[in-house]
Amino acid sequence: MSDQQEFPDIDLNDYADPENAESNSSHTGLALPGQNLPDKVYIIPIHNRPFFPAQVLPVIVNEEPWAETLELVSKSEHHSLALFFMDTPPEDPRHFDTSALPLYGTLVKVHHASRENGKLQFVAQGLTRVRIRTWLKHHHPPYLVEVEYPHQPTEPTDEVKAYGMALINAIKELLPLNPLYSEELKNYLNRFSPNDPSPLTDFAAALTSATGNELQEVLDCVPMLKRMEKVLPMLRKEVEVARLQKEISAEVNRKIGEHQREFFLKEQLKVIQQELGLTKDDRSADVEQFEQRLEGKVLPPQAQKRITDEMNKLSILETGSPEYAVTRNYLDWATSVPWGVYGEDKLDLKHARKVLDEHHAGLDDIKNRILEFLAVGAYKGEVAGSIVLLVGPPGVGKTSIGKSIAESLGRPFYRFSVGGMRDEAEIKGHRRTYIGALPGKLVQALKDVEVMNPVIMLDEIDKMGQSFQGDPASALLETLDPEQNVEFLDHYLDLRLDLSKVLFVCTANTLDSIPGPLLDRMEVIRLSGYITEEKVAIAKRHLWPKQLKKAGVAKSSLSISDGALRALIDGYAREAGVRQLEKQLGKLVRKAVVKLLDEPKSVIKIGNKDLESSLGMPVFRNERVLSGTGVITGLAWTSMGGATLPIEATRIHTLNRGFKLTGQLGDVMKESAEIAYSYVSSNLKSFGGDPKFFDEAFVHLHVPEGATPKDGPSAGVTMASALLSLARNQPPKKGVAMTGELTLTGHVLPIGGVREKVIAARRQKIHELILPEPNRGSYEELPDYLKEGMTVHFAKRFADVAKVLF
For the cut 50, the answer to whether the pLDDT of residue 304 exceeds it is: yes
For the cut 70, the answer to whether the pLDDT of residue 468 exceeds it is: no
Do residues 145 and 43 make contact, with C-beta atoms less than 8 angstroms apart? Answer: yes
pLDDT of residue 526: 83
Count CA atoms closer than 13 A to 304's CA, side-chain side: 7
- Rounded CA separation 57/63 (Å): 18
Do the annotations mark residue 392 as ligand-binding? Answer: yes
For the cut 80, the answer to whether the pLDDT of residue 242 exceeds it is: yes
pLDDT of residue 234: 92
Do the annotations mark residue 666 as ligand-binding? Answer: no
Quick one: how far is CA 424 from the chain centroid? 26
- Rounded CA separation 108/503 (Å): 100
pLDDT tens, 655-689?
788 888 888 888 888 888 899 989 888 888 888 77
Do the annotations mark residue 395 as ligand-binding? Answer: yes
Compute the average pLDDT of residues 580-585. Answer: 89
pLDDT of residue 624: 63
- From 337-351, 398-412, 627-641, the region with the lowest mean pLDDT: 627-641
Which of the listed ranges 145-159, 172-186, 350-364, 537-551 does the model predict with the highest average pLDDT? 537-551
Compute the average pLDDT of residues 101-129. Answer: 91
Query: Which residue is catalytic, options 714, 721, 787, 803?
Result: 714
pLDDT of residue 83: 94
For the cut 80, the answer to whether the pLDDT of residue 712 exceeds it is: no
For the cut 90, the answer to whether the pLDDT of residue 122 exceeds it is: yes
What is the dotted CATH code of the domain comprising 40-148?
A: 2.30.130.40
Q: What percent of the chain has pLDDT over 90?
A: 11
Task: Tell me the residue type at 544.
Answer: W
Q: What are phi and psi of 702, to 5 degrees?
A: -130, 140
Compute the average pLDDT of residues 485-509. Answer: 87
- From 143-147, 186-190, 446-450, the region with the lowest mean pLDDT: 186-190
For the cut 80, the answer to whether the pLDDT of residue 146 exceeds it is: yes
- Rounded CA separation 319/758 (Å): 69
Q: What are phi and psi of 455, to 5 degrees?
A: -100, 120
Burial class (CB in 10 A: 0-12, 13-18, 19+), 733: exposed
Query: What is the band of 85 on the pLDDT scale with cuts at 50, 70, 90?
Result: very high
For the cut 70, the answer to whether the pLDDT of residue 279 exceeds it is: no
Q: Is 787 among the catalytic positions? A: no
- From 37-51, 457-471, 563-577, 724-738, the region with the lowest mean pLDDT: 457-471
Burial class (CB in 10 A: 0-12, 13-18, 19+), 427: buried
Query: What is the band of 18 on the pLDDT scale with cuts at 50, 70, 90?
Result: very low
Query: What is the band of 15 on the pLDDT scale with cuts at 50, 70, 90?
Result: very low
pLDDT of residue 417: 87
- Rounded CA separation 631/135 (Å): 124
- Rounded CA separation 745/720 (Å): 12
Do residues 465 and 421 make contact, with C-beta atoms less than 8 angstroms apart? Answer: yes
For the cut 60, the answer to whether the pLDDT of residue 637 exceeds it is: yes
Q: Which residue has the higher pLDDT, 717 or 464?
A: 717
- From 54-58, 64-68, 711-715, the region with the lowest mean pLDDT: 711-715
443 beta partners: none
pLDDT of residue 19: 35
Q: Class for domain 349-526, per CATH?
A: alpha beta
Compute the average pLDDT of residues 216-245. Answer: 90
List, in order, residues 6 or more apart from 106 with CB less than 8 Å away: 50, 51, 52, 53, 82, 83, 126, 127, 128, 129, 130, 219
Compute the average pLDDT of residues 368-395. Answer: 80
Do the annotations mark residue 391 as ligand-binding? Answer: no
Q: Is 757 among the catalytic positions? A: yes
For the cut 70, the answer to whether the pLDDT of residue 651 exceeds it is: yes
For the cut 80, the answer to whether the pLDDT of residue 319 exceeds it is: no
Compute the average pLDDT of residues 15-36. Answer: 42
pLDDT of residue 29: 44
For the cut 50, the answer to whether the pLDDT of residue 10 exceeds it is: no
Query: What is the band of 32 on the pLDDT scale with cuts at 50, 70, 90?
Result: low
Compute the average pLDDT of residues 521-534. Answer: 80
Query: What is the band of 3 on the pLDDT scale with cuts at 50, 70, 90?
Result: very low
pLDDT of residue 30: 47
- From 2-16, 24-38, 386-400, 496-510, the region with the lowest mean pLDDT: 2-16
Quick one: how far is CA 418 from the chain centroid? 22
pLDDT tens, 325-344?
888 888 889 888 898 888 88
Q: Class for domain 631-805, per CATH?
A: alpha beta
pLDDT of residue 16: 34
Do the annotations mark residue 399 as ligand-binding? Answer: yes
What are the respective helix, strand and coil percentages of the chain, to the nearest 5?
45, 20, 35
- The separation between the first and the last C-alpha atoms of the chain, rounded to the nearest angstrom, is 136
Q: Which residue has the higher pLDDT, 285 or 260?
A: 260
Do the annotations mark residue 396 as ligand-binding? Answer: yes
pLDDT of residue 101: 87
pLDDT of residue 60: 92
Compute the average pLDDT of residues 382-394. Answer: 80
Query: Which residue is catalytic, options 757, 765, 778, 787?
Result: 757
Give the Cα-Cα-Cα angle 780, 784, 787 (nearest 5 degrees): 70
For the cut 80, the answer to whether the pLDDT of residue 762 exceeds it is: yes
Query: Mind giving me the DSSP string for 326-381?
Result: HHHHHHHHHHHS-TT--PPP---HHHHHHHHHHH-SS-HHHHHHHHHHHHHHHHHT
For the cut 70, the answer to whether the pLDDT of residue 8 exceeds it is: no
Do residues 81 and 109 make contact, with C-beta atoms less than 8 angstroms apart? Answer: no
E strands present in 91-200? 104-116, 119-137, 143-148
pLDDT of residue 708: 66
Q: Which residue has the higher pLDDT, 673 or 370?
A: 673
What dihedral angle (degrees, nearest 10) is formed by the CA atoms of 320, 321, 322, 324? Answer: -90
- Domain layout of the chain by residue ranges: 40-148, 282-336, 349-526, 532-615, 631-805
pLDDT of residue 140: 82
For the cut 90, the answer to whether the pLDDT of residue 110 exceeds it is: yes
What is the dotted CATH code of the domain comprising 532-615?
A: 1.10.8.60
Compute the average pLDDT of residues 567-589. Answer: 85
Q: Which residue has the higher pLDDT, 34 or 737?
A: 737
- Rounded CA separation 62/116 (Å): 10
